[in-house]
Amino acid sequence: MACTPPGGWLPDKLGCAERPGMLYQVTIGARVVYVELRRAGDRVFFKVDDGPEQPAQLLQVHGPLRALVLGERRVELLAAVQDDVVRLTIGGLEYGAEVLDEAHARLASVTSARTAGHARRELKAPMPGLLVKMLCQVGDVIEAGQPLAVLQAMKMENELSLPRGGTVTSIGAEPGQTVEQGQVLVVVE
């Protein structure tokens, strides 16, 4: 259902409206989605990228279980905030979303390499173990999913990779070294 809200879209960004529309930059994996939210009384309307505006509702059922209504579409999901990321599970699939408002997304993009969505990525040891191999070195341009290191834990060798590519800027451990859970092994920017 396409919905035409009273008052039009973002009448005045400089803010005489009680609660102006907000533009959010949401980064999920390699995807960046712009979500505009506008509140009118008790109602919320959303717009994705340049799509049509539709009403939206996110209702808490219990704990992390939520019912999402987008236009006429209903979706059941789990959602929680963990380590600065909104984690969501929809249809059995998990998504990690980084959410920035427009002002901060812009600020981040001009001030540093810490652009939301293209931020520095750290490959951390997911568990304590023995670093068997380091498969990259500083300066390497790596692709998403490319094996970067091999960690032996639980008697199994695990290839570690990052969900996004970039350039390796530092290496945090050497082969043969025992590493702690959470120890940074590779930094990619």
Partner 1 sequence: MFRRLLIANRGEIAVRVIRACREMGISPIAVYSDVDTLALHVRMADAAYPVGPAPAAESYLLIERILEAARQSGAEAVHPGYGFLAENADFAQACIDAGLVFIGPPPKAMRDLGLKTEARKLMHAAGVPVVPGTLEPLNNIDEVRRAADEVGFPVALKAVAGGGGKGLRMAAEPAQLEASFRQAMSEAGAAFGNASVYLERAIQRPRHVEVQILADQHGECVWLGERDCSIQRRHQKVLEESPSPAVGPELRARMGEVAVRAAQAAGYTNAGTVEFLLAPDGSFYFLEVNARLQVEHPVTEEVTGIDLVREQIRIACGEPLGYDQSAIRRRGYALECRIYAEDPAAGFVPSVGRLIGYRPPAGPGVRVDSGVEEEAAISVYYDPLIAKLIVRAADRQQGLERMARALREFLILGVKTSIPLHRWLVAHPDVRSGNVDTDWLEREWSAAQASGLPDEDVETAAVAAALLVDSTRGSGALSAAAPTGDGVYSAWRLAARQAGLR
Binding segment (CB under 8 A) for partner 1, from list 3-11, 97-105, 167-175: 97-105
Binding segment (CB under 8 A) for partner 1, from list 4-12, 88-96, 169-177: 88-96
Binding residue for partner 1, selected from 1, 93, 110, 111, defined by CB under 8 A: 93
- Helix/strand/coil (H/E/C) assignment for every residue in the chain: CCCCCCCCCCCCCCCCCCCCCEEEEEEECCEEEEEEEEEECCEEEEEECCCCCEEEEEEEEECCEEEEEECCEEEEEEEEEECCEEEEEECCEEEEEEEEEHHHHHHHHHHCCCCCCCCCEEEECCCCEEEEEECCCCCCEECCCCCCEEEEECCEEEEECCCCCEEEEEECCCCCCEECCCCEEEEEC
Q: Which is nearer to partner 1, 121 or 171 (CB)?
A: 121
**Contact flag: residue 13 with partner 1 (CB under 8 A):** no
Binding residue for partner 1, selected from 7, 43, 52, 104, defined by CB under 8 A: 104
Q: How many CA atoms lie within 13 A of 104 on its CB side?
A: 11
Q: Which is nearer to partner 1, 48 or 184 (CB)?
A: 48
Annotate each residue in 107-146 with x if it binds partner 1 (CB under 8 A) or - if it does not, as one string.
-x-------x---------xxx--------------xxxx
Binding segment (CB under 8 A) for partner 1, from list 5-13, 90-98, 168-176: 90-98
Which residues within the stretch 26-85 sit at the binding site for partner 1 (CB under 8 A)?
26, 28-31, 33, 35, 37, 44, 46, 48, 56, 58, 63-66, 68, 70, 75-85
Binding residue for partner 1, selected from 3, 7, 9, 103, defined by CB under 8 A: 103
